[in-house]
Amino acid sequence: MSKDYNNYDYLSVSVKSDQLSRILQCYRALGWTEITTEDDKQYYDMKYVRLRRPHKIPNKDRLQYLQVRMERAINSLVEITGNAHVKSTAVAVFIVFVAVCFAVLGLWLVMSFSDVLNFIGWICVGLSLAGAVLSVILCFVLRRRECKIATGKIIEKLRLTQALIEEAIELVPADTEKSEGFDDPAPQEVNGQEAVNG
């Protein structure tokens, strides 16, 4: 299919398969129409989508600005989800490492010495077990806190995305061509995973 650059702008995006419908609804709100959707040749869980929009669409500059903000908001959802448990994991790994060191030191003292050093060895082994228990408890507490923070950030990005979609819908003319199969209104909650410009 040849491209009509005089009348249309074209865009290619890679989208997570499970988020395809919602991401396309976002682009449709910005006046884009789906031309083709194919499986990504490198990643099994991605779809490669080609879109087009009338070149002389009204409010094009504002729509382009909204599109940039929408794509940044959607992509930031992936970063928020991916980085949600970095701190708790680092703390747990550090405590486990220290606990293992104490366990090795304690066992060495218990097996190699008697009297005071043997007693110190048992203390080290006990501290290592306490450290392991502490790491589990601390990791659980930190992860709950991180989930709460990440959920707040995700809700904020979803609200921003929805506000951008609502503004875009008001700017796009009603007679703009619609993509078949995606003519339902934009969702109340947009939970995009990834949208990368090609």
Q: What is the 3-state secondary structure (H, E, C) of 40-93?
A: CCCCCCEEEEEEEEECCCCCHHHHHHHHHHHHHHHHHHHHHHHCCCHHHHHHHH
pLDDT value at position 1?
A: 57
pLDDT value at position 176?
A: 58
Sheet holding 8-16, edge to edge: 33-39, 46-54, 8-16, 195-197
pLDDT value at position 10?
A: 92
In 3D, which of 87, 11, 72, 62 has the Cα closest to residue 167?
A: 62
pLDDT value at position 55?
A: 87
pLDDT value at position 177?
A: 56
Task: Report the CATH architecture of 8-83+173-197.
Answer: 2-Layer Sandwich (3.30)
12 membership: H or E segment, kind and range: strand 8-16
Digit-coded pLDDT (tens) for 100-112: 888 888 888 888 8
Domain ranges within the chain, ordered by starting residue: 8-83+173-197, 86-149
Classified as helix, coil or strand, 136 is helix
Average pLDDT of the chain is 81
Say if residues 16 and 37 touch (Cβ distance below 8 Å): no
Classified as helix, coil or strand, 15 is strand
pLDDT value at position 191?
A: 34
Q: Would you call 13 exposed, middle or buried from its count of C-beta atoms within 10 A (0-12, 13-18, 19+)?
A: buried
Specify which residues 12 forms β-bridges with.
Answer: 50
Looking only at Cα atoms, what is the longest distance across the chain? 90
Digit-coded pLDDT (tens) for 61-81: 999 999 999 889 888 887 888
Percent of the chain with pLDDT strictly greater than 90 = 7
Given a cut of 70, the residues of the chain with pLDDT beneath it are 1, 174-198
Q: In angstroms, rounded to a whole number, what is the distance separating the alpha carbons of residues 123 and 109?
A: 10
